[in-house]
Chains A and B, each alone.
Chain A
Amino acid sequence: MRVLAFHLMPYSEIDPSFYEKYGPAWVTLPNALFDRKAGYRLYNRFLDELEYADSAGFDGICVNEHHQNGYGMMPQPGVFAGALARRTTGWLALLGRALPLVNNPLNIAEEFAEIDQLTGGRLIAGFVRGIGSEYHSSGVNPTESHDRFHEAHDLIVRAWTEPGPFRFEGKYYDYEYVNTWPRTFQDPHPQIWIPSQGSSETIRFAAAKNHRYTYLQTFSPITAVAKYMQMYKDVANEQGYEATPDQLGWSLPIYCAATDEQAREEARPHAEMFVNKYLKISPEMLLPPGYTTVASIKGMMQAKAGMLVDRKLEDLLDSGMFIVGSPKTVREKLVEAQRQIGFGNLLMTIQFGTLPHDLTMNNIKLLAEEVVPYIKQHAKMSTAA
């Protein structure tokens, strides 16, 4: 069982009334709201939190990529992975780079190889398509998203594994010389993880026999986590192999304090801010045409219609999208879910919304000392799950 601490690095110093004044935290939220000195404060604070998690008992840490919003401030996540590389000793997961959003995916092959070398092979490399709003922000045509993702993936994996120089002749990317220096430290290449909210196309891609990439279910009700991980196992069976726990991961926000009551009261405003302000997004922003199939769009339109309704902490706890409580409550819920669903990776989002530094550090301390060791001891890691 591998447990990582994940940070979104939100712009947490924002006036909570921003949503009422300007709408979603994405695409068009005026960047005049960004205090020029706040980045310095927040980035250094958040890096301190991740470094502490790495030293306190997590198996590693995780950063990710988002563009032009107040929800997650790492448009170039390699900068943060680079800053963390020499100050940490555990896994360094970059989950992930949004492959279709760049014109030259070889830059991503190079960036990941650099981090893998800096860390002596501690990199976990995530590949994503970016979220729908990022197609508005980047100008990349969302109807090309899937094809660009697959082609960029093929290019990057070949750049890591095939002797260069070689030619790459794709529809979107065409190179006379693919010959990346540096090569990756890990042989044949860093582990590849595929974070998703549960698209069947993505699950089939991750579970394919020649990929067997770790599928990471992000911020979803626990019933969806179970359903999509079962889908992964079913695809693996169809392909003639059995999925192992390390091919499955769950990512969710977790908050721990001395008692259940204290944990709820401390988490409540920040969890509700996270869901009801930072994460609230219009269907036009979230689902640009072609980002998913028409069938998926219709399904997501129904599911996401609920996202425009304000939610209380209790709803989030009931659905299993958040886990909040005493160390005992948190570890028991996690072990129960793990034994039921059989995932071998757990990403704990240790800060969410406006959760301040002192509470975040206390959360990390309790999780690292009283939850992580317990889960690692009690997780069921046989494939027979």
Chain B
Amino acid sequence: MTATATSNRHSIEVNGATISYLRGGMGAPLLFLHGAGGIGDWAPWMDKLAAHYDLIVPDHPGWGRSDMPEWFDNVHDLAYFYLDFMDALGLKDVNIAGNSIGGWIACEIAVRNTAHLKTLTLVDSAGLRVVGLERFDIFLSSREAHTRAIYFDQTIADRALELPLEGDALDTFLRNRYATARVGWQPRLYDPHLAKWLHRVNVPTLVVWGEQDRIFPVAMQAEFVRLIPGAQAATIPNCGHVPHRECTDAFVAVLDRFISGVRA
């Protein structure tokens, strides 16, 4: 399948906000929740997921092409929003995968209500604090330092940094940063209450981590695995903070193995 055949940008109004999302492919629903930097347009890594799934990739409220709703104060608002969003699209038996802030939102959804969830996959997820663990400050670093910290393979960072940050790209960058700060400025990208309730996650869970993640070091993976009942771990070597983009084949392989194992 090609990008043009499978990509399709849609929008839907949920709770007063117009939400933009990509949808393509066939199979079980896979709701992919993006991280701080947003998601942009249909990309080659999405083709690989769309080959196996009905892939749905929203711009979170406040990010990308979605509205910044009046009600958007914190991560809990996004969790309740996605419960409404799944209802609005009539999604059932949803596989949720979330990267970084998207993983955090996925956790906040799952501790509230798993009625529509089939599986949960966290990918280099925000949401928990490991006391004493050194972290990268995404808000105090330059665009270059931040971009370099995201990837293990610095040639990808080189290419990303060659793109000029101006016009629409600059507007989107600033919107995404704003929304990220709204959710994660303080406490810094975690919810102090989440750890108390992760035992409520009662769907099969996979915790994927890029072994060389410099945004959230791999030590955080163990904390999610410890707190979510029955959670499995998968580590992708030579990979940074965004395995779906940097190590797409390895990421798709572990995701497929996990989801098909649950089906069996």
Question: CB within 8 Å of B: which residues of A?
Answer: 27-28, 135-136, 139-143, 282, 284-285, 288-290, 294, 297-298
Contacts and interface: CB of A to CB of B under 8 A. Distances in A.
Main secondary structure on chain B at its contact with chain A?
Answer: helix
Nearest to B74: A141
A374 B256 CA distance: 82
Nearest to B72: A143
Given A141-B182, A143-B181, A136 B139 contact: yes
Nearest to A285: B140
Given A143-B181, A298-B174, A288 B139 contact: yes
A301 to B, nearest CB: 9
Interface in B174-222: 174-175, 177-178, 180-182, 185-186
Interface residues of B, number: 15
B140 A136 contact: yes
Given A298-B170, A298-B174, A290 B142 contact: no
Nearest to A297: B174
Nearest to B145: A284
Contacts of B174: 289, 294, 297-298
Nearest to B62: A143
B170 A288 contact: no
Question: Most chain-B CB neighbours within 10 Å: which of A135, A142, A284, A294?
Answer: A284
A290 B170 contact: no
A143 B182 contact: yes
B140 A143 contact: no
Contact of B140 (A139, A140, A284, A290): A284
B141 interface: yes
Contact of A140 (B139, B142, B177, B186): B186
Nearest to B139: A288
B142 A294 contact: no
Contacts of A143: 178, 181-182, 185
Contact of B180 (A282, A285, A289, A297): A289
B223 interface: no
Given A285-B140, A288-B181, A290-B178, 9 more contacts: A27-B140, A139-B185, A288-B185, A289-B139, A289-B174, A290-B181, A294-B171, A298-B170, A298-B174
Contacts of A141: 181-182, 185-186
Nearest to A140: B186
Contacts of B171: 294
Nearest to B187: A139
A294 B175 contact: yes
Nearest to A294: B174
Nearest to A282: B142
Contacts of A284: 139-142
